Amino acid sequence: MTLPRISGLTARAFRVPLPRPWGPDVPAVHVVVSEVATDDGRTGTGFTWTPSVGAGAVHALLTQDCRAAVLGMTAHPETVWDLLWHRLHEAGSGGVTTLAMAAVDTALWDLRAAAAGHSLADELGRRRDAVPVYGSGVNLHYPLRELVEQAERWRKSGLSAVKIKVGHPDPAVDAERVGAVRAVLGPDVLLMLDANQRWDLLRARRALALLAPHDPYWIEEPLLADDLAGHVRLRAECGLPVAVGENLRTVHEFRRWLDAGACDVLQPNAARVGGVTPLRRIADLAALYSVPVFPHLLTDLSGQIACALPLPTMVEDVEDASFAALGLLRGEGPVAIDGGVLRTTGRPGLGLDFAVGGVAGHGPEDGSAGTTGHTADHRPAGRTAEALR
């Protein structure tokens, strides 16, 4: 059978306000929606994402270099990914490069799964029908009362695991906040802690000594994300499982961390690593080291990937930050969460019907930079996605 070839690539970038801002400097996230057309008349929809910076650069790379490179290629995601990375990586092996590649890769997986008439999870090789969910929040800036209220919402929803932020300048404040959340959750709910790279080795040792009595399931990114040697030392000393990966970009980086014994959990972000194709490779590699992969954010996509991962896993659900919660989807999404468990809904392909038909994004198919600022359709009251200018 002759596979179709890519005949077009378009992309539009949007700024989407968060109902629960991730801090004063992150009131919104950016989503770039892509479409890949093939010469047999089909279209696949993909996306990439970045919280605060780089969406314009990603869009430019997509509509210029990516588009020029993929036109005429066979619409096979793994083949395209390898050829595209070889073409683009002189601009950087990660960062903007892999963020742009994710928009192409996810669109091609959407095409592939939809052509087979089933979901991405089934196209990847489903291993499980349901995946546990852990509640998550970008909540270091929350007052203690608001943090406790969030923990109470999680407990009432039946979650068996949650994650909160730590990294206050005074580790005693962290200990008070973690203790208050543990008191709400009780001893049987798993409690993960995420420092978001806020400590150095000295402060991490002190903070973790104060937090250990609250039985954290893991400590995430306690040091700078590229401090491999520091994580090896801290993991050996602190006695707590260490989770990393949301800021690692290539399979080669993940391999170095696995070889060094620097982590207990890997958390690749599908957008940051370049899409579904490299995330699958990272998961297969991690399985050889008996290290589980817990995909980072992007629940609508991560939940489907998690159903096909080789080792047991959980899916992160940041409160009010899914595509559905942000008003970016029209109708039913590809996953549904109930009672702390995620299941796929059976929509074919990626199952993402983006509700952005009323928004003109960054330029037409020729990659020009013209925009207009219409309001997206199907948007919750008080929030609109804005086309980036």
Catalytic residue among 59, 231, 296, 362: 296
Angle between helices 201-211 and 228-238 (to 10 degrees): 30
Beta bridge partners of 220: 194, 243
Q: Give the β-pairing of 28-38 and 6-17.
A: antiparallel
Dist CA 304 CA 318 (whole Å): 16
- Nearest one of 188, 184, 186 to 145, comparing CA atoms: 184
Beta bridge partners of 163: 136, 192
> How many CA atoms lie less than 13 Å away from 151 in the CB half-sphere?
25
Continuous segment of H or E residues that includes residue 69: helix 67-70
Concerning whether 165 is annotated as a catalytic residue, the answer is: yes
Task: Give the per-residue SS3 of 133-192.
Answer: EEEECCCCCCCHHHHHHHHHHHHHCCCCEEEEECCCCCHHHHHHHHHHHHHHHCCCCEEE
Output the CA–CA distances (angstroms, integers) from residue 336 to 88, 300, 301, 302, in the order listed.
36, 9, 12, 12
Dist CA 195 CA 204 (whole Å): 9
- Nearest one of 52, 59, 4, 2 to 30, comparing CA atoms: 52
Place of tokens 């954010």: 297
Catalytic residue among 59, 163, 165, 362: 165
Dist CA 253 CA 322 (whole Å): 28
**End-to-end CA gap in the chain:** 43
Helix-, strand-, coil-residue percentages of the chain, each rounded to 5: 35, 20, 40
Q: Which tokens is 159 given?
A: 């979650």
Any idea which residues carry the catalytic annotation? 165, 296
